[in-house]
Amino acid sequence: MKMRKKADLPTKICPVCNRPFAWRKKWERDWASVIYCSDACRSMGKAQKTTSKST
């Protein structure tokens, strides 16, 4: 695999913290399904969804 500069990697915006995060090797197979930048944001996102549904 050809080396890429970090600036050339695909990025997404985290819906919880609104920060951009870049592609990582560990997300290679499921980049399309990656939504959150971290485990902390994932748990916050799930907490926000459950509270908004119950109200």
Residue 5's pLDDT band, with cuts at 50, 70 and 90, is: confident
What backbone phi and psi angles, to 5 degrees, belong to 52?
Answer: -75, -30
Bridge partners, 12 (sequence order) = 21
Residue 47's pLDDT band, with cuts at 50, 70 and 90, is: confident
Q: Is the pTM of this model over 0.95?
A: no
CA distance 49 to 8: 32
Bridge partners, 21 (sequence order) = 12
- pLDDT attached to residue 25: 92
What backbone phi and psi angles, to 5 degrees, belong to 20?
Answer: -75, 145
pLDDT at 35 over 90: yes
